[in-house]
Structure 1
Amino acid sequence: MLLRSALKTNFSSQLCKILRRSMFIQSQDTPNPNSLKFLPGRSVLDSNLGTRDFPNIQSAFTSPLAKQLFRIEGVKSVFLGSDFITVTKQHDDIQWQTLKPEIYAAIMDFFSTNLPVIDDDAQQPSSSVSPDDDDTTAMIKELLDTRIRPTVQEDGGDITFVRFVDGIVKLKLQGACTSCPSSIITLKNGVQNMLQFYIPEVKGVEQVEDEVDKLANKEFEEFEEKLEEELEEEKDQMKNSPSKK
């Protein structure tokens, strides 16, 4: 883990150095001391798109850029204009000198990917907070979206909320997490511990499988059984075969 973290930090540092040669980001104060305006020196939104306001991470599902900025701890909201990005921090105790380097890096990293700033075809994830959610369910979804899913997605997987029943959070593992041997450990030691720390109503976390997952697991179990039977047959044949002189 330490090696991976060191390599990732070194790569990000080298990437930022390369991008700074072709991209210079400026920041400007706004009337709100908790908001800063960032100018990347290039177009952010096409003129026909106007402006886009993302008051929380749930509303940012159509913007890869906004989602990347929300992954920075302390970011409260993101506003996109034609040539600027306004970021608002959560409260006065968070210092801009701490946030600004991460915001600069996130903006430069995003524009190096050539992804669209706005993806209107993106579908709202099922784990997003809805008006019908009770307070506990909304808090669970908020933690999943802001603290847990970004980390899991970096490893090629995802975790989506299914339901919250009798103190048990039902989650579905996707992507690389589906077949990962450590997925149960991730659920119990990682996700469950974090949810229980912030939300006392959570008693546990369970993985939910759909019909496709169940069918795949059943076929795999049948394959394992068949393989074990063939190995046993080979052992019996070796025992019963006459020894060579």
Structure 2
Amino acid sequence: MSVNIQLEWTPNPSTLKYVVDRRLVSSGAVNITSKEAAEEKSPLALKLMGIQGVTAVMVGSNFVTVTKGEQGEWDELNDAVMATLDEHLGAGLPAVNEDVLAAARAAAAAGGSGGSVETRIQEILDGEIRPAVAQDGGDITLDRFEDGIVYLHMKGACAGCPSSTATLKMGIESRLRELVPEVTEVVSV
């Protein structure tokens, strides 16, 4: 099965976004920063993490972001990533282990009651902010809300991006403070 893969640059010079013509994950995004996590959560990420120089992989709805470390140049890495994506997805293999992810989502939902402020923050993140950062190959998830401070995880292209501080403070923080008066600050964890 042929796979259409389009390469997109992200604001993070260490991360490239590969958009594909099929659904990769049922909802949200899966961020992988170690081979151990890849073994559990994503056979595609495991293959990509095997490419020398790849340090992180995020699988989104119809895209994969790949982050490189100090080793490797994009010219070489890009060829290997494209070949791996084409081979894996072209064979009809799953990008993620949906059963493992579903169990993790259920455990998180059962464990976190979340107050009304946290619920409003999550709705704003899901409705406005996450779709916007996904266009650049990133994701942002809520860790917690405590004493007026929103703690967020920056993933994919957002992790380590030179623009992430500006996005966090001038974009996300100002929007959350505007809509949720209880929010005094937003920080990355």
TM superposition score normalised by structure 2: 0.49
Structure number with the bigger relative contact order (C-alpha 8 A, sep ≥ 6) is 2
More strand by share: 2
Question: Who wins on radius of gyration, i.e. which is larger?
Answer: 1
Which structure has the highest helix share of the two? 1
TM normalised by structure 1 equals 0.38
